[in-house]
Amino acid sequence: MRGGPTQYSEKVMEHFKNPRNVGEIENPDGVGQVGNPVCGDIMELYLRVKDGIITEAKFKTFGCGAAIATSSMVTEMVKGKSVEEALKISNRAVAEALGGLPPVKMHCSVLAEEALKSALDDYLSKSKGKLPGEKVKSK
């Protein structure tokens, strides 16, 4: 990565060099896949949800250091959160958690947010769109 430490925060470099939660979840409750045709980055995000709480999150990302770092960070941010809380995580929150991103790399945090939203949408569609605690109306 050109530009060295002045371009990326220490936290971005840490998550790039030692990404957390890399891999796939077998039979996940939600999967999201997004890509950016301009830069070629592709992110896949896998979620395990139990009683409305995200218990496990993993990712596979083909992309630059910032794409890998944002994928790693978003998986860390969602674990232990409810589906509702996870739906509120923004790309800015991911970038801030990493100590900021260069403006030219903010699209990587957008991809991380989109992959998360896609995986959550997948989970909600599989669970018939019910959030935990919602009663199924009997006819």
Name the catalytic one among 108, 111, 115, 116: 108
In this structure, what token pair is assigned to residue 123?
């989970």
Cα distances (angstroms) measured from residue 11 to each of 25, 83, 87, 97, 98: 25, 26, 23, 8, 5
Q: What is the pLDDT along the chain (139 residues), one digit of tens a residue?
A: 444 444 899 999 999 999 999 999 999 999 999 998 778 899 999 999 999 999 999 999 999 999 999 999 999 999 999 999 999 999 999 999 999 999 999 999 999 999 999 999 999 999 875 655 554 444 3
Cβ neighbors of 1 (< 8 A, separation 6 or more) are 7, 8, 16, 64, 65
Q: What are the structural domain ranges in the chain?
A: 7-126
Degrees to nearest 5, angle at CA 93 with 88 and 94: 110
Name the catalytic one among 11, 14, 20, 39: 39
- In the residue annotation, 108 being an active-site residue is answered as yes
Task: Give the residue from 74, 68, 91, 89 showing the smallest Cα distance to 16.
Answer: 68
Q: Name the pairing type of β-strands 30-35 and 53-62.
A: unpaired
- In the residue annotation, 64 being an active-site residue is answered as no
Task: Give the residue from 51, 101, 48 showing the smallest Cα distance to 75.
Answer: 48
Q: The domain 7-126: what is its CATH number?
A: 3.90.1010.10
The structure's pTM equals: 0.86
